[in-house]
Amino acid sequence: MVSGDSEERNYLLLFNPKVTAVATETEPGEEGSVSLPGVRVMIDRPVWAEVSYLDAEGSPKTARFERFAARVALHEIEQMNGVFFLQKVSRLKRDMALKRARKLSG
């Protein structure tokens, strides 16, 4: 997990993360997955998210992630919980993304 802006990287290990709060305000952003290289879809996500987790020593922590870091945290936590990013879009957009994935894979 990377938090902060792109100039300075702050890598965090989050064990057993749980989303505890999210903003009501959302913004669209492009998302993809290593399992579908070259496929991206626009997904609305909250502009911030608060996450509780255990650190590497097993101590409980809470962090607030904003903008891109919030998007990454939410995407990854959902994926760990069995929600694939294409489940967040309409059937039409999902079908188009899967068609593109098949085309790119040859």
Name which of 106, 98, 89 is nearest 39 in CA terms: 98
Which parts of the chain sit beneath pLDDT 70? 1-8
Give the pLDDT confidence score for residue 106 in this predicted structure: 77
Give the pLDDT confidence score for residue 9 in this predicted structure: 73
Task: Tell me, letter by letter, the H, E, C secondary structure of 40-90.
Answer: EEEEEEECEEEEEEECCCCCEEEEEEECHHHHHHHHHHHHHCCCCHHHHCC
Active site residues: 76
In whole angstroms, give the CA distance from residue 17 to residue 59: 12
Domains and CATH numbers, the chain: 2-105 (3.90.45.10)
Give the pLDDT confidence score for residue 93 in this predicted structure: 94
pTM value is 0.86
Q: What is the pLDDT of residues 14-39, one digit of tens each?
A: 999 999 999 999 999 999 999 899 99
